[in-house]
Amino acid sequence: MGFLSGKKALIVGLASKRSIAWGIAQAMHREGAELAFTFQNEKLQDRVEKMAGELDSEITFPCDVASDEQIDAVFEGLDNYWDHLDIIVHSVAFANKEELEGDYLDKVTRKGFALAQDISSYSLTALAKAGRNMMQGRNGAIITLSYYGAEKIVPNYNTMGVAKASLEANVRYMAYAMGAEGIRVNAISAGPLRTLAAAGISQFRKIGEHVEKNAPIQRNITIEEVGNAAAFLCSDLASGITGEVMHVDGGYNILGMTYK
């Protein structure tokens, strides 16, 4: 029996087989969880339905997390399949591409800053508000994905770094607000991964090479490794852990300086 058997999980943020959400979905499925998925738009619908099918799920809903109506519709739809929900996986971020390159102050705009906060941080809160009822009376868990650029400077991460800092604080305030209901809220701060979200990022290769050379484990991490950590954090094995930002980064974050 897997350590998530009997658990029902909603996964938000699947786009391709390189997605971190795919690594998490595979690990949760392996450990016995039942899964449901959302897709951002019709362009992704077929692909997400097919991937869901591979993990024995036929439950998918459209959901642009910028829309409260679409978020509400997800849980109304889910209610037709399940009478409760144990797990929400939030694996979504967005900033305008122009704001992920160059001088932070030159490139940031009021609108772009707000958009990054809305899609990358507030959407976690919005999903929790809408899913809260279905998660009552059980050992629920919510997980999101962050990045080191929330804590320390990573050149070009800029607007996203500020949004991830907000996301990590959001995790703590949500953990405090939902703790009494038995719902735990955590984040995984993952090392760099070649996903669609990393595609158009110029210099991304340099970041991967830098990690390979300097991280304690001397390589980059995988979506399977993030998946295993996420499955653990959302399981009853992690019943004492909430409000935590766990690094799955091969130890990169512990470095002060590296020279030989």
Q: Which residues are catalytic?
A: 147, 157
In angstroms, the Cα distances linking 228 to 28, 94, 102, 149, 244 are: 8, 24, 35, 22, 16
- Kindly report the number of other CB atoms within 10 A of residue 137's CB atom: 9
- Residue 92 interface partner, choices ligand 0WE, ligand NAD, none, CB cut-off 5-8 Å depending on type: ligand NAD
Nearer to ligand 0WE, 15 or 134 (CB): 15
Task: Tell me how far apart the alpha carbons of residues 91 and 124 are, in angstroms, rounded to a whole number.
Answer: 9
Shortest distance (Å) from residue 38 CB to ligand 0WE = 18
Q: Under rule CB under 6 A, which residues in 128-167 are in contact with ligand 0WE?
A: 147, 154, 156-157, 160
Measured between alpha carbons, how far is 215 from 138 in angstroms, rounded to an integer?
38
The residues in 60-99 that bind ligand 0WE, with binding defined as CB under 6 A, are 93-95, 97
CA-based radius of gyration for the chain: 18
**CA–CA dist 34, 7 (Å, integer):** 6
Q: Residue 85: which of ligand NAD, ligand 0WE, none does it interact with, CB under 5 to 8 A by kind?
A: none
Cα gap 68→127, rounded to integer Å: 9
Does 200 interact with ligand 0WE (rule: CB under 6 A)?
yes
Nearer to ligand 0WE, 27 or 211 (CB): 211
57/159 with CB nearer ligand 0WE: 159
